[in-house]
Structure 1
Amino acid sequence: MVGIFIDKRLPFPLVKRILEKTWKTTASYEISTDDDLFYFKFSNDEDRKTVLEGEPIFVADRIFMIRQWSEELEYQRSLINTIPIWVKFSAVPKQLWTRRGISMIASRIGKPLSWDVATKNRQRLNFARVCVEVNVQCKYPKSLRFKLGGDRIATVGVEYPWTPPTCTVCKRFGHNTNKCPNRVNSV
C-alpha cells in the first residue's frame, strides 16, 4: 500500500509515530519512503484490509491518503480528483439529527464517509463533524439552507478545519492556482 500527502510531505518519524498510535494492527508492518510517498508492507492481510478501508488519517491536520499500490499510482498522483476532509456542521435542526439527516446535509458538500464518535453517538448536539469526500471543484459553502416542511427554512453553518490546496486552472489538488505550472502569465 502507499500513503500520500496531497500537499507538503511531513517527516517520516512524525508519520510513523502517528500511524503506530492510529492503526491497531495484530501483526507487524514495514514502512519505507522516498521523496513523496510512504510504502507499507503488511504481514497480515486482515490488517492491510482494515487500514485500506479505514477512516481517513490526518497527520498534523494534513490528509494522509492510503491507497493500494499500483504502477499508475506513482505516476498519476497529481490526477487525484477527490479527497476526504472533515466538515463541521452547526445549528443542525434536531429533526435532521439522524444518520439519514446528517448524511443528507453532508451530501450537499460531497460524499459522506464517516462521522466522529461524538456525532455518531449523539453526545454533542451543538455541531456534527463528518468526514466528506470532496471533488476538486468543491466550492466550500459557509452555510446550507434546507426546507423543513411548510415554509420553515433552516440554515446550517459549515466550517472546514482544513481545505486542500486546489488549482482552478488544471483542476488538481496539491497546489493553488497562483502556483500552477500550467498557468499562463500575462506580461
Structure 2
Amino acid sequence: MADYARLISGPKGTPVWFIDRHPMRVFKWSPEFDAYCESPIAAIWYNLIGLPIHLFDHAALFAIGKLFGTPIQVDRATASKSRLSFARICIEIDITKPPPEEIILDICGRETVQQVKWDKIPAYCLECRHVGHSSEVCYAAGKVERPPKRNYNNVTPRQQHHGINGSQGGNVPTNHKDRKQQGKGKEMEAQSSRGPDASDPLDREWSGPDIMGDF
C-alpha cells in the first residue's frame, strides 16, 4: 500500500512523474478511463493540526479521511505516534473541488473545529481535462497564446570566454591542456625575471668550511 501511495502521489507531492523530460501521470484504472483525458482523482497528503491523541488510531484516522475522499495510508510518524503535533494522511480526492480547510468533529457529544492543512494540490483544467494548469490559462481552449514547442535535441552553444574585466582580448584557457601550457609559460617568465643570481638555493655551491671530511 505504501508503494501504491508513492506512485499515485508523485515524487514531490504532485501526481506527475518526468520520464526523459516528458510528464507522465500515474493513477488507478477505472472503466471510465479515456486515453485523451486525465482523471481528476489524485492522491494528496494532508495534516490534521492538533488532533487529540486518542484519535491517533488507524480506524479513527480513516474515518476522518472518508469525510474528504478515499483514505490510502498514514505516514510512519502518525502510525507510531512519535509526532503528536499533527496527523498526516494520504487520500484520493477530486482536485476539481476546493478542499475544506477545517471540519467539525463530534467528540463525545462536543463539537470541535479541526484545522486541516493540505499539501500542494495541482490545478486541473476543465476545458482540456488535463492536470497542470487551470481553465483560465488553457491554450487548447484559446484562452491564451500557445507556447512554442521545446526542442530538446538542440544544445545551446557555449558562449566564448572573455578576458578579465569583460575584455575580449584576454586569452582564457578553456581546457586542462591550455591551463597546463599557460602555467609553464608563467613559470619560465618568473625564472627569467629573477636572473642568473636568483637560482634555486639548493643548487648553490657551499663556500664554508668542510665539515663532512673526506669520503
The bucket for the TM-score relative to the shorter chain is 0.5 to 0.7
Out of 78, 81, 85, the residue aligned to residue 119 of structure 1 is 78
Structure 2 CA distance for aligned equivalents of residues 157 and 117 of structure 1: 21
Which deviations, in whole Å up to 9, do the C-alpha atoms of 1:3-44 show, x marking residues without a partner? xxxxxxxxxxxxxxxxxxxxxxxxxxxxxxxxxxxxxxxxxx
Structure 2 unaligned spans of 5+: 17-24, 145-215
Deviation at 1:106, TM superposition (A): 1.6
Out of 69, 80, 87, the residue aligned to residue 128 of structure 1 is 87
Deviation at 1:165, TM superposition (A): 0.7
Q: AA paired with 2:55?
A: L
Shift in alpha-carbon separation, 1:145–1:80, aligned structure 2, 3 A: same
Q: How does 1:76-155 map to 2 (within 5 A)?
A: 76=36, 78-150=37-109, 152-155=110-113
Q: Which has the larger radius of gyration?
A: 2
Structure 2-normalised TM-score? 0.51
Are 1:161 and 2:113 matched, yes or no?
no
Structure 2 CA distance for aligned equivalents of residues 106 and 68 of structure 1: 18
User: Are 1:136 and 1:171, in contact at CA under 8 Å, matched by a contact in 2?
Assistant: no
* Residue range with higher mean Cα deviation, 116-125 or 86-95: 86-95
Tell me the equivalent position of 2:11: 59
Structure 1 CA distance for aligned equivalents of residues 10 and 143 of structure 2: 33
Tell me the equivalent position of 2:208: none
Structure 1 unaligned spans of 5+: 1-49
Q: AA paired with 1:164?
A: P
Shift in alpha-carbon separation, 1:124–1:68, aligned structure 2, 3 A: closer
User: Are 2:5 and 2:72, in contact at CA under 8 Å, matched by a contact in 1?
Assistant: no
Tell me the equivalent position of 1:36: none
User: Are 1:93 and 1:154, in contact at CA under 8 Å, matched by a contact in 2?
Assistant: no
Shift in alpha-carbon separation, 1:67–1:154, aligned structure 2, 3 A: closer
Q: AA paired with 1:130?
A: I
Structure 1 CA distance for aligned equivalents of residues 94 and 142 of structure 2: 21
Q: Report the count of equivalent residues.
A: 132
Identity %: 22
Structure 1 CA distance for aligned equivalents of residues 51 and 118 of structure 2: 16
Q: How does 1:12-51 map to 2 (within 5 A)?
A: none
Higher strand share: 1
Tell me the equivalent position of 1:45: none
Larger relative contact order, structure 1 or 2 (CA cutoff 8 Å, min sep 6): 1
Structure 1 CA distance for aligned equivalents of residues 86 and 39 of structure 2: 30
* Residue range with higher mean Cα deviation, 173-182 or 99-108: 173-182
